[in-house]
Every structure is written in C-alpha cells, then in structure tokens.
Structure 1
Amino acid sequence: MMKKNIFLFVADQMRNDSLAHMGNPAAITPNLDALVDEGVSFENAYCQNPVCVPSRNSFLTGLYPHVGGHRTMHYLQRDDEPNILKEMKNNGYEVIWIGRNDVVPADRKKTDYCDEYYDGVLDENTRDAENSEVDHGATMNEASKKLQEKMLSGDNYYSFYMGKLPDGEGYGKTDWNCVEKALDYIDRRSQEKSDKPFFVYCTIAFPHPPYACEDPWYSSIDRHLLPKRRPNIKDVPNKASMLYGINQKQQLDNWTESRFDELRATYLAMVSRFDAQLGLIKDKLKATNLYDDTSLIVFSDHGDYTGDYSITEKVQNCFEDPISNVPLLIKPAKSIAVVPRISKAQVELLDLPTTIAALADFDLSYTQFGKSLLPVLAGQEIHKDAVFCEGGRIHGETQAMELGHGPSSPYWPRLSTQYSEGPEHTKAVMCKMGDYKYIMRLYELDELYYLKEDPMELNNLAVKPEYQEMLQEMKNRVTQFYMETTDFVPNKRDKR
C-alpha cells in the first residue's frame, strides 16, 4: 500500500489552555477545534523541557534532554545524534523543513536532514554560510521597531508586551512567509507525478513573545472572557526560587489587571493567527485532494506563563502547566484507525518520532524512549502511567548558564537569575501521574500538587506530613525513570 504523507505544523510557546476546545472561553481557534471531529486532541500532553532547544532536541529524537546533555539553548544536535527528519529521508520520504531551527548548528547544512530547507527568509541553497540563521523576532519594519522601543521602557521593559501591530509586514512576517512556502509546496506536489510521499516539518514563531499581533486577530479577543489569572508568585509560599527571582526582576507587581488582560488577550490573538494559518494549510490540502492521504500533526514545543504568577515568558527548570502542558492534535490519514475525541491519556512530545515512524510503516534505526500513539488514536485511553519534564544544572556548570545578556536584554530577569549559584537554576524533574504532579529538586524544596483540587498549583503538599507516602511513591517512579533512560548503547559498534 502506498505510504501516506505527514505534515507537522508546530507553534512556538503555545500553552494547551489557549485553545477553545480545551476550555478557554476567550480563545478563537476554530481550525484546531475542528480537528477533534477528525482526530485526537491530547489534554495531557507534556513537553520534556520548557524551553526551545532542549524540547526540540527531544521531540525530534525520542530522547529525554538528560540523555545527550541537552539542557541549554546553546548546545544543539551533534553530528552523530539521530533525528526523525533524517529517518524519514532515509525511508523514502521527500523531507521539507520550513521555519524555525533551534536544533542544527549554523555551521552544518540543514539539507543533510532534509531535501529542502527554508527559514522564512532564504532557501538553504541561496544562503550565505555566515548568515545561516534568521532571528524571527528581529525582522521588524519601522512601525514594529517603534512598538519594540515602547516595550523597552518603564515598567513595561521586561514584560515582552508590544500590543497591536499595524500590519503583518514587520514582526511576524517570517511566519507568513513560511506558511506561503508550505502552500506553494502543496500546490507543487499536487501537480508532480512523484512516487515519494512527503514529510513537511513547518515550525513557525508565534505565539512566542514579544506579545504582538495585527488585526483582525488583535481586536477579535473579548477581554471580558479571559479566564482567571494565577496569583502573584510573591504571595504563594513553597514554590521554586527561580520564579521568585524572575518576578522580582521583571517588575510587573504594580501592573493593573487590565494591563495583564491586554497582554493575555494579545497572546490569544497570536494563537488565533496561528489557527488561521493552520486553516490555510488544511484548505490547501483539501483543494489539492491531498488531505485524506495526509496525517496532520499540530503541537507546540512548550508553553508560556503569559502573566500567570505575575511572570511572562518561560523558564528552564519549572514545570507548571502553563509552560509544560502543550497542545498536541493528530488527524491521521483516512486509512489509519481513529476514534475522534479529546483524550485524557498521558502522553509526551517525545512519543512523536516513533508515532511518525509507525504512520510511515517503518521502525526507527536507533534506541529511543517514545511510545507510539497509534493505539490511542484508535481509542485506547491508557498510554503512560507517568510523564516527565526536566531541566536545570548542577552548581559550577557555567556552560549551562547561558551567559552574555545584560540588563538591556528583555531576557535579563530570567537569564541573570540562571547565573546565580544559589538554588535558582539547579536541576529538577517533574513527574506527573494522574492528578498528582511531583517535582524533585536537587538543592531546594520538592513540590507536590493535587491538580484535581489545585489546578493553579498553589498548595505544595510536599511540606505536609499526610502526603509523605504519596511523595515517596512519586520519588520511586522518578528513580525508575532515570534507571530506564539514563543512557543507551549506540547502535553502531566501534572497530577494535
């Protein structure tokens, strides 16, 4: 039987509760919501690290960040590391990579991993080797730059809030370029007589901060429908010291609720624009008669605090749901068994490579730790008893501090706190089992939350004597996790 196409459409920094079908009354996401009628949306999908590079290294390989030391933004994939893009190319797929990188170093050709690469500005074969990456947030016209200057002032400086863009030609333009490239490719493929199935990895920048969006999306979000914001972290005891440090430096404590509402609504507008772009891709696949033969997978690399706890952006070693619980939706090709629904099965982004290989009907060539989601698509609700997210460093691990940002950088509140040799940026791992979420911390207080009664993760049960038995059970599961995944023997033997 002819192999089916696979299309990945990936957001950057999109939290799971930013979707209407996940219960957000202010969200406008009709195209994402409609996928629930054809496929599965995973309510309990978790990334394996809540920042870009470690997360992408994980979901493109099926390996946890600790396996290869991918715990920082500055260490990308090594030559000998596996990658689902390479696997698809080696198994007869035409591989098209469009958009963000955060995986392959600038001095290595992306076309080693794919047949075509486009970053939103230039194709790989027309790119200067010394200018091989594009900063999507820096591609701004004069109107966008004025908004950025306004952002970098007063108590707005570290908030990442820009607001209403005058148009889509400055900040955010690269995403439109990427979507246009994807649409052009679908058109081209529909006219070609190719025996090769295609694998498209289209990964765009929104809703990654700065928080900014043009109309009609900016004005479409009803500010009165926004869900309740999580309270200021300075009023919540027994949380990670990293959060207190960022909160103190971002200086958002005096913001009014209406200002936070504007920031949160702008973020949802960015999500809605992503949804509209997904709609363009869906419509093009249908118009070219490729939709039924294409598995469509939509997800985000991690989430965003978006003002919860009076914090914006994200952090490497904290795991509250706003930054670790991500959208994951799979609409399989028509020949693949599916029971359309919102699934409560616990899943990880790390499950994607083996799921993609199963959809493409081949076995991965290397050891990995994901588990195929095809049985869940077919109706099974038990997938994994526990899911994990991890990050941070040990004391003295200066290469993981991400040094080099001063107070003029909007990222300074987080990154300067990472430089501390206190407990702030040190190692931690999250283990979620059912309604309980446990966080083991190397140098400070552990955390335990009962999400059913405490969805905002405010009441740390690890300090309560009556929860010590549950705490020990979760610790035992973390021990098993590390025993199972600490390393793996390479598949290729060395000569002796």
Structure 2
Amino acid sequence: MKKRPNIIIFNPDEMRYDAMSHMGNPAAETPFLDEFAGKDAVSFRNAYCQNSVCVPSRCSFFTGLYPHVHGHRTMSSLLHPGESNLFSELRENGYYVWMNDRNDLFAGQIEGWAESNADEIYYCGQVKPAPRAVNRQGERNADVYSHFNGKLGTDESGRNYTSDDEAVDAAIKKIRGWEKEQPLCMFLGLNYPHVPYQIEEPYFSAIDRSKLPERIRYEDCIGKSKMLELIHEYEQMEEYSETEWNELRAVYLAMCKKVDEQFDKLCRELKKAGMYEDSLIIFLSDHGDYTGDYSVTEKSQNSFEDCVVRVPLLIKPPVWEKTDPGISDAMTELVDFYATVMDYADIKPQRTQFGISLRPVIEDRRNENRKYVFCEGGRLPEEKHCDEFHVSGPNGPSEKFAYWPKMKAQTDDEAHAKATMIRSTEFKYVSRILGSDEFYDLRKDPQEKHNCIHEKCYETEIIKMQIALMKWMQETADVVPYELDSRFTPEMLWNKVKRMCPKGKEGEVWQKIKSGVTLGQLMMYMQTIRAEKTE
C-alpha cells in the first residue's frame, strides 16, 4: 500500500495574504513563512476564499463545496450530520484526527456531532488566562469601532499566554508522544490575527511603522458597494489620524508575526520528532481583514476587495513527492485545499466536489490552475438578518458595541443582498441581486478604487464574465453522491417477481435481492433461472 503522509493544517483566522513579507509588504515580519516558501513549500500568490467570513469559508474549504451548495452562507449555518467533510473522510480512511476546539465548522447544538469527526479534541482553557487588554476606549466612536486595543500586558514570566499558545503547545505535546502506526491529521485553528488588534511585547515594537505601505483611502474611491458605504458611515473612522491608522496596522502585522513564530515552533517539533519530511503541511487563512484599507476595519460579508478575500495558502508535500518550492502565480481557490489533501492522502471523495488538486502546480509552479476564482456572500431580503454575534436587546445591539456598525449595515436589505464575485488576473466583476454591480480593471486599478460597471469600453468583458458566472453557477449548483440509491426496497422487488419465481428457488432469489441487485439485473436473473427450470 502507498505510504500516506501525516497531514498538518495550520489555520490562522483573518490573515490577509500581504501580511507576509514574501508577498511584498516591506513592513511585514514573517521570517519563517518566507523561508518555508523558499525552501520547502509553494506559496500561492493568488489564493482566494469562497466567503469573507469564518463559518461559510471553513464549511467550503473543508468540503470542497461552494457556500451556496448547501446554504452555508452565514455564521449560524454550520455542517450537520450527513455532510461529509475532510475530517470525517480522513477518519473513515484510517487517519487519527486531532484538533483543537477552534474550528467554526460543526453545528454545536447537535450532541456528539463535533466529537464524531475527530479522535481527539483539545479544549482550551486549561491554563491561567493571559493578562487582559488595557481598555483604550476614548470618547470618540472610532475608539470603539476600531477594534484597537494596542499593547497587551504580560504575566510574571514576561508572556501573554493566549488560547492560541495553549493550543500550539498541546499540539506539540501530542507530536512528542506520537507512537501510533496510523497517519496523523492535526488541525490547529487559531484566533489570531482576528480582531481585536492587540499584541504584547516584543511583537508590539517589532514592526517598523515607517515601512508600512500606503493605505487605500475610502475617500479616493468611486462606486463602492452599499455595504462598504454603510460600514464606513457607521464606523466614523474619519476621526482617526493617519498616525493612529498606522499604529493599528502595525499591531495587526505584529499579530501575524506571532502567528509566524507559532508555526515555526510547531514545524521545529515536527522535525525533532522525525515527522516533518513525512508530512503534508498546509498553512492557510479563512479570509482577510480590511485593517484600515477603504478606511474601515475587520471584514464585510458581501464586499469582495482583495484584502478580505485573498489569503495566505502555503503547501509543503511529503518528501517523496515532487516539489517546486517558491511563489506560484496560479489562480487558486480554497476549495482546492480539500481536493489537494484528498489527492496526497490517496482518498477518493464520497460525492461531487469542486476543488482542483494543486499537485501539478506544486510539482511545477509554471502550471496554471484556474482562469477564474469566485467568492460569495449576503442574503435574500426575506431571510433573517445575520445577527452574527447574537447581541440583542429591546433596541438591538448597543451602539457602544464594537460590531455595531457592521451589524447595523447588515439590516439593510439592499446592502446585505446576495452577491457573487468572479475574478481573473485582469478583471473583477461583482454581481448583486439588489443595488449596483461592480467591475474593476485590475491592470489599471489594482486597489479597486474605481467601479467601471457603467463604462461602455468594458461592456464586452463584463458580458463575458457574466456568462462565465452563470455557467459556474450551473456547474456547481448541486452535488451527487458516488454511491447510487436503489429505487425499490427488497420487499418491493420480491413482490414484482415472486409470481414468476420457480418453486424451490424462493430462498435463492431472496438472497439475490438482499445482495443489492437492481430491478433490471433481477429480471435478467429470473429469466436465467426460469430457463434452467424449463430445461
């Protein structure tokens, strides 16, 4: 039997692709990820998530399905029993699945469901909590809505030991004690660099503020989505000075630097345990973060700027597989993660899936993968507003709640309407069921500042992308299980043939029925035994 690799999945939350130095950000500090991409892994420059918030994105890339296929479009629509996923399929094929309790994947109200997808789940909260953030909220609304806390305190040992640190150390403990014959699938889902923007020393001071690239200002944009317009209006971040924006952006990059060190720490332990070379190691984020671009913070559910839908994706195959380390420009979707893992694990999915294995690109970075990538989000007007954080009261969420601007914007049916992005290397088109569509010429406007949807010179390209979007929706509208169903119960089949069954052959025919034959096969069999009886 072909040797199967260990599968190590390292999944930070809300990390944008350009938070890594090797993606061209001069202020980013990610030395291990840069080295990992240069020596052992392929880093995908153009990797896109299929939804810009956590749960829908994870339900997508852990199944190889788009969010619209089974309606996983909100933070409250998770996987249910009967929905096969990467973890359940790996377990069924002999993998030992270890994960921490940060996965945003399985419906929590169903008793035993999350546990059935893993051999072992590590629940954080077993150690003393880290020092809390200093309350930096001032009198301005921006001080609340920025999600900015700044510098964290440290404990007596000089650390701010978070649940992420605890999960990484638990994974390391598992690696050090690993003695099983079966292959290991290890999933580490982190909270960082998700908001609030906060970090302790020495990370806080590690980012050179003078190297930060220029921020994309909302004031310089024309024709952006109504969702982005409302979030910008409600957040009131124009109260922020450029110095304050730079501090927020630097803290975010410092959080990413800590993620880089945690990933390095895990990989060093895999090397010490002799498991690094035998492992398929994947580093990916579920979505990105505005971090001040377009003069807003955090993310949006149906506005698809690259900073929120373009993500890190780095893949190192086991040593016996061919690898062409470095940066790939191939257009890639996170659904391809599922297909790639299944390919290297040599496991056939149980039903239709829409990912494309990245093995050919990993073997030769000159290979292409996709012409278009897609992302989707939003809701129908009659659907319940996605109250993502379940904060309610007689007058709705408090305006002193950090997520109030986004939640307020999501109550607007037009702003929160279903939308789908299609992107090529040159153009981006966003189709909306309500409000104005968007089109960007990325050759001239890579920062997506000027919506060209009404410009006649782009009419042909817009129609071409609309047709491609329609065909994609047709191709991905549903899934078919590979195991086919019978149209009849055994009793139904028996009643169809019992009058033509030769005497003495009843038991033989019943056994044939119980073996799972189709009606056509059964009728042919009946003809055979009746002919034998006649002879």
Q: Structure 2 length as normaliser, TM-score?
A: 0.85
| CA-CA distance at 1:488 after TM superposition | 1.8
Q: Give the C-alpha shift of residue 111 in structure 1.
A: 2.0
Task: Tell me, yes or no, if structure 1 residue 144 matches structure 2 residue 132.
Answer: yes
Identity, % of aligned pairs? 39
2:33 partner SS: helix
* 1:41 aligned residue: 43
What's the secondary structure of 2:188's corresponding residue? strand
Q: Which residue of 1 aligns with 2:186?
A: 200
User: Residue 8 of structure 1 corresponds to which residue in structure 2?
Assistant: 9
In the aligned structure 2, how far is the partner of 1:429 from the partner of 1:171?
A: 40
How do residues 389-408 of structure 1 correspond to structure 2 at under 5 angstroms? 389-398=375-384, 400=386, 402=388, 404=392, 405-408=397-400
SS at match of 1:298: strand
1:99 CA displacement: 4.1
* 2:404 equivalent among 394, 398, 412: 412
Instruction: State the Cα distance separating 1:44 from its structure 2 match.
Output: 0.3
1:339-488 equivalence runs, <5 A? 339-379=324-364, 380-398=366-384, 400=386, 402=388, 404=392, 405-421=397-413, 423-488=414-479
Deviation for aligned residue 1:14:
0.2
Once the two structures are TM-superposed, the CA of residue 409 in structure 1 deviates from its matched residue by 2.1
Structure 2 stretches lacking a partner, 5+ long = 489-535
Residue deviations 1:184-236 (CA, integer Å, cap 9, x gap): 111011xx2x22010101110000000001111111000000011001x2442
List aligned pairs for 1:17-56, cutoff 5 A: 17-36=18-37, 37-56=39-58
1:94 is aligned to: 96
CA RMSD of aligned residues (A): 1.8
Mean Cα displacement is larger for which, 78-87 or 46-55?
Answer: 78-87
Larger mean CA deviation between 394-403 and 42-51 belongs to 394-403
Q: Kindly report which structure 2 residues correspond to 1:54-69, keeping only aligned pairs within 5 A, or say none.
A: 54-69=56-71
Range moving further from structure 2, 379-388 or 394-403 = 394-403
CA distance in 2, matches of 1:477, 1:282: 41
Query: Alpha-carbon deviation of 1:157?
Result: 0.7
8 Å Cα contact 1:344/1:381 also seen in 2: no
Out of 144, 163, 173, which is 1:157 matched to? 144
Mapped to 1, the partners of 2:188 and 2:416 lie a distance apart of 32
CA distance in 1, matches of 2:159, 2:398: 26
Shift in alpha-carbon separation, 1:235–1:494, aligned structure 2, 3 A: farther
* Counterpart in the other structure of 2:213: 227
1:376 Cα deviation after fit: 0.8
The amino acid across from 2:41 in the alignment is: G
Report if aligned partners of 2:153, 2:160 keep a CA contact under 8 Å in 1.
no
User: Is the 8 Å Cα contact of residues 40 and 329 (structure 1) preserved in structure 2?
Assistant: yes
Are residues 1:82 and 2:84 paired?
yes
3-state SS in 2 of match to 1:461: coil
Q: Give the match's secondary structure for 2:136.
A: helix
Tell me how far 1:408 sits from its aligned partner: 3.2
**Selected match of 1:174 from 152, 163, 170:** 163
> Alpha-carbon deviations, 1:269-307, whole Å to 9, x = none?
000000000110111111111111111100100000001
Name the count of aligned residue pairs: 473
Match of 2:115 among 111, 114, 138: 111
1:356-393 Cα shifts (integer Å, max 9, x gaps): 11111111112111111111101152111111000001
How big is the shift at 1:106? 2.0
Change (3 A) 1:494 1:312: farther
Spell out, residue by residue over 1:400-446, the C-alpha distance to the aligned partner (whole angstroms, 9 max, x if none).
4546333232111001110123x110011010112211111111111
Tell which deviates more after alignment, 24-33 or 105-114.
105-114
Q: Secondary structure at the match of 2:107?
A: coil
Matched, 1:184 2:173: yes
1:58, 1:64 within 8 Å by CA — same for their partners in 2? Answer: yes
Q: Is the 8 A contact 1:71 1:400 kept in 2?
A: no
C-alpha distance in structure 2 between counterparts of 1:66 and 1:453, whole Å: 32
Asked if the contact 1:140/1:170 (under 8 Å) is kept, the reply is no
Q: For residue 527 of structure 2, what is the aligned residue in structure 1?
A: none
Distance 1:476 1:275, change over 3 A: same
Secondary structure in structure 1 of the residue aligned to 2:187: strand
1:78-97 Cα shifts (integer Å, max 9, x gaps): 11111100011011111111
Cα deviation for residue 331 of structure 1 reads 1.1
Does the alignment pair 1:320 with 2:309?
no
Q: Which moved more, 1:432-441 or 1:14-23?
A: 432-441
1:11 positional shift? 0.7
